[in-house]
Amino acid sequence: MPIKGINVNRCNLCKDCTIECPMDNFSSPNGKIGFDSSRRCILCGHCIAICPENAIIYEDMKDTALEFEEPSESIAYKAIYRLIRSKRSIRQYQNKKVPRDIIKKVIDCIRYAPVAMNKRTLRCLVISDETKINDLINSIIDAIESEEEKEDYKKKRKQKIDPFFYNAPHILMLHSNNDWDSKNAVIAITSAMLGAETLGLGSCWIGGVQIFLNENKEILKNLFGIDDEIFGIMIMGYPAVKYYRAPPRPPIDTKFISESLI
């Protein structure tokens, strides 16, 4: 188990870990904090995050903790609201690759997105090779049953139109064999799209192809050796368009159940 216990020389006996741990692995018998290594740990890291003295001992978590400079500071609502509202689904891209270090920053947004029970089983496939993207597009067209629809797509391809990925330079797919990831991937790709937006990148969720590939699993298996369920597809690149305003949206139908105000 990566969580090994508590550094008693650092611990100030605040007992925050005993309250925060969702699996009740920490306790305070005889006024001292104890950690039960025989109990299940989901590696959520709440104990590491909440300890004011950084007294939690851990190893082999394949990462290091991030220290907040100012724990009380947060992004202003106005800033995050503007980011969410101004984010558009981009379907026009520059013919320009995104550097790998920038792509890794987007993937980090997926890495730290919350998941159910901290079961981090999502895998990520990033396709940036133009030949491989064309192979994927052609394989999808070949698998279409309707001859009329197939011919229509082939005509578009002759016109150098990408009917599925909109000539995006990068395709990001999230896949796994864990059914819970159908929910986790939604949060993960949302985090990735918002992160991409702050880096000057455009993105778009591609839902129709996701469904089609899950119904035709031999395509990804033959091209990339993947036979997992695809839970999310996002295209990404530098936008070839500029938007000047966020369009209006109708209000959410909301019902409040509150205490009576007397």
Report the top-level CATH class of 3-58.
alpha beta
Q: Which of 257, 198, 201 is nearest to 234 (CA)?
A: 201
Domain 79-237 is of which CATH architecture? 3-Layer(aba) Sandwich (3.40)
Interatomic CA distance for residues 189 and 182, integer angstroms:
11
Instruction: Count each helix (H run) and each strand (E run) in the chain, helices first.
Output: 9, 8
Task: For 183-226, write each residue's pLDDT tens digit.
Answer: 999 999 999 999 999 999 999 999 999 999 999 999 999 999 99
For residue 29, what pLDDT band results from cuts at 50, 70 and 90? confident
| 79-237 has the same fold as 3-58 | no
Interatomic CA distance for residues 18 and 188, integer angstroms:
29
pLDDT computed for residue 21 by the predictor: 95
Q: What is the mean pLDDT of the chain?
A: 94
> Across residues 52-71, what is the average pLDDT?
87
Interatomic CA distance for residues 140 and 153, integer angstroms:
10
| For the chain, domain boundaries | 3-58, 79-237
Task: For 127-159, write each residue's pLDDT tens digit.
Answer: 999 999 999 999 999 999 999 999 999 999 999
Q: Which of 200, 156, 191 is nearest to 172 (CA)?
A: 191
For residue 75, what pLDDT band results from cuts at 50, 70 and 90? confident
Q: Specify whether the CB–CB gap between 140 and 209 falls below 8 A.
A: yes
